[in-house]
Amino acid sequence: MYQEEAVKTHMPKAFRDALHPKIVEADGPNEPLKETKEYTKNYKRYIEEDIQNASIKIIKEQAKLDDPFFLFIGWTHPHFPNDPHSDFENKSRIGKYGDTVMELDYRTGKVLDAYKDAGIENNTIVVWVSDNGPTITGTTYDEIGIASAGPFSGELGDAKDLKKSKVEFWDSVFFVDATDPFFIY
């Protein structure tokens, strides 16, 4: 919940005062976290670009070291409320959900381009997953019923969630000897 919604829903002031989610970062493993900015509803529209840029920066830096590294990117899309970057607003035919999927596709492509530009695309394993598909009930009013999951059914939180709405498989298991993993989430 964001401050704006907390005020609209008449949340008690004590709760609103405590509700200030922050973006944090650290200089490395076991280093203290530093608050960088407040995570507001408006900033949510632009965080994917920041995640993309931070990921590209790490890829460029690590490629120069010629050591294995692990990079976990935790995109926020597509998770309701689906509020796309202004560059992607009203670009799809299916509303905010489609707009955020288009943005996620674009940003993922930029990160994959960074592996290629760094010359390490042939020595890189990429595992791409997403946890949220279109939803019928667990969303904001303007997003209800705007997209289809095709042959899959179920949505986050219902009994069908793990049975039909996700496909999981392990072909092989890889271990990377990386002393400094990077998590962008």
**Chain segment 70-128, per-residue pLDDT in tens:** 898 988 888 777 889 999 999 998 888 889 989 999 999 999 999 999 999 888 888 88
**Residue 152 banded pLDDT, cuts 50, 70, 90:** low
Domain boundaries, the chain: 45-184
Q: Which residues pair with 22 in a beta bridge?
A: 38
Which of 77, 10, 93 has the alpha carbon at shortest distance from 44? 77
For residue 167, what pLDDT is reported?
Answer: 39
Q: Which two tokens stand for residue 5?
A: 């919604």
Is pLDDT at 10 greater than 50 in this prediction?
A: yes
| Average pLDDT of the chain, as a whole number | 78
CB 68 within 8 A of CB 175: no
Rounded Cα gap, residues 95 and 126, in angstroms: 29
pLDDT above 60 (res 158): no
What global pTM score does this model have? 0.74
Q: Which amino acid, 155?
A: E
Average pLDDT on 40-68 reads 92
Hey, is 34 helix, strand or coil? strand
